[in-house]
Amino acid sequence: MMLQKSDNEVYTIIQHELERQRHVLEMIPSENFTSVAVMEALGTVLTNKYSEGYAGRRYYGGNQFIDDVETLAIERAKKLFSVEHANVQPYSGSPANQAVYFALLNPGDTVLGMELAMGGHLTHGYKLNFSGKYFKAVSYGVDKTTHRIDYDDVREIARREKPKMIIAGATAYPREFDFKKFAEIASEVNAYFLADISHVTGLIIAGVHQSPFEHADVVMTTTHKTLRGPRGAMLLVPKKADRLHDIYHPASKKDLAQLIDSAIIPGLQGGPHNHQTAAIAVAMKEAMEPSFKEYGRQVVKNAKVLADSLISGGL
Ligand SMILES: Cc1ncc(COP(=O)(O)O)c(C=O)c1O
């Protein structure tokens, strides 16, 4: 064990965390446990390499194998989600969302997302986040009695505020998102539609949650939640022909995929984390297995049993 010998302090902390993870019941929905194969890919020499740019167009030499791994990850993402374009370079979910803002909007433009206190994410327009500071953020929430998104309310806000982008997705919303309804509203007000599926990606793959791919202009997912991969994120652009939601917007004349790619680099990031890309590729291979679908179905079954038990326990 090299680490134990060279830096026993860090090694010991990691061992403590391993024991903690083994002995607690982790109920945090944004977390998961990666496979050993994913961990192995993460801890590799790929972390040593700089590769700013995209496959075949790098600003550094020696990237023939990095190109291979990134291309493999992209091809797997395209297959797994049946999309036209995938960018696997975002460092994590927040920079991935940021890249979408930068790709599609101008500072000061209005965005409509779910309010933080109602379950939305910081990057969906929170006032102390870049999304609330540099953009005009308006928000929707949940109905106070049903605790579900009130789509009539979303429509009303959208008609009133005329956002340039509507975001569906949340950090704390234990209900299904109706992506079709969001798309209809976005179409009505000529807004881009970003589906942030970070929390439900694994469930979508398993077929137990509505898919956003026929409806959204851009889909963002983190890779470390229900997808069960390493920390990271992907930006996915559905096939234009498959998209029911069609908008007219000056930027939409340009290729969305190209806008997304250039928002990541040179817009926002430098060198991609290649070890992370490799581990995301491994996680996607695992997600293509029939057992992953079974896992997704089981997550929903377990959640229902937990909910029923909490309710019958008086909560
Ligand atoms: C819906 C949603 N979007 C984006 C993010 C941001 O991801 P990250 O923490 O990787 O920046 C999260 C994280 O919890 C999230 O729940």
User: Does residue 286 form part of some domain?
Assistant: no
The closest residue, in CA terms, to atom 6 on ligand 1 is: 93
Question: Which residue of the set 49, 58, 76, 225 is catalytic?
Answer: 225
Q: Which residue puts its alpha carbon closest to atom 8 of ligand 1?
A: 93
User: Helix, strand, coil proportions of the chain in percent (round to 5)?
Assistant: 50, 10, 40
**Which of 70, 84, 161, 196 is labelled catalytic?**
196
**Three state DSSP letters for 261-301:** HHHHCCCCCCCCCHHHHHHHHHHHHHHCCHHHHHHHHHHHH
Q: Answer whether 32 contacts ligand 1 (Cβ < 6 A).
A: no
Tell me what pLDDT residue 169 has.
Answer: 97
Residue 67 annotated in active site: no
Report pLDDT for 14: 98
pLDDT digits (tens, 9 = 90+) for 160-216: 999 999 999 999 999 999 999 999 999 999 999 999 999 999 999 999 999 999 999
Q: Which amino acid is at 254?
A: K
pLDDT of residue 241: 56
User: How many domains does the chain divide into?
Assistant: 1
Active site residue 231: yes
User: What is the per-residue pLDDT for 255?
Assistant: 85
Please report the atom of ligand 1 found closest to the CA of residue 120.
1
Round to whole Å and give the CA distance between 55 and 258: 14
Compute the distance from residue 62 Cα to the ligand 1 centre, in Å. 33
Give the three-class secondary structure for 138.
Answer: strand
Tell me whether residue 126 is in a domain.
yes
Output the pTM of the full model.
0.95
Q: Is position 307 within any domain?
A: no
Q: Is residue 261 part of a domain?
A: yes
Q: Is 228 a catalytic residue?
A: no
Tokens linked to 246: 């069609």
Whether residue 23 is contained in a domain is answered as no
198 lines ligand 1 (CB under 6 A): yes
Question: In angstroms, what is the span from residue 314 Cα to ligand 1's centroid?
Answer: 31
Residue 245: predicted pLDDT: 60
DSSP 171: S
Which domain CATH number covers 149?
A: 3.40.640.10
Q: How many helices (H) does the chain have, and how many strands (E)?
A: 12, 9
196 lines ligand 1 (CB under 6 A): yes
* Nearest-CA residue for atom 4 of ligand 1: 93
For residue 196, indicate whether it is catalytic: yes
Rounded CA separation 18/3 (Å): 15
**Which of 122, 131, 171, 219 gets mutated to test ligand 1 (max ligand atoms within 8 A of its CB)?**
171
pLDDT at residue 239 in the model? 80
Please confirm, yes or no, whether 52 is among the known catalytic residues. yes
HSE-up (13 A, CA, CB side) for residue 168: 33
pLDDT at 175: 94
In a domain, 97, yes or no: yes
The parts of the chain modelled with pLDDT lower than 50 are 248, 250, 253
Q: Verify whether ligand 1 is closer than 6 Å to residue 202 (CB atom).
A: no
Answer whether residue 187 is part of any domain. yes
Q: Of 62, 46, 45, 63, give the one whose Cα is nearest residue 54.
A: 63
Is 54 among the catalytic positions? no
Residue nearest atom 16 in ligand 1 by C-alpha distance: 171
Closest atom of ligand 1 relative to the 92 alpha carbon: 10
Q: Find residue 140's DSSP bridge partners.
A: 114
Nearest CA to ligand 1 atom 15: 171
Q: What contacts 42, CB < 8 A, 6 or more positions away?
A: 34, 230, 275, 276, 278, 279
CA distance 197 to 175: 12
The amino acid present at 61, given as its one-letter code, is G
- In terms of residue numbers, what domain contains 96? 47-275
How many angstroms separate the most distant Cα atoms in the chain?
63
Question: What was the pLDDT predicted at 253?
Answer: 46
Work out the burial of residue 6: count CB atoms within 10 Å of its CB; fewer than 13 is exposed, 13-18 middle, 19 or more buried: exposed
> Encoding tokens for residue 295?
């896992």
Residue 207 Cα to ligand 1 middle (Å):
22
222 lines ligand 1 (CB under 6 A): yes
For residue 297, being part of any structural domain is answered with no
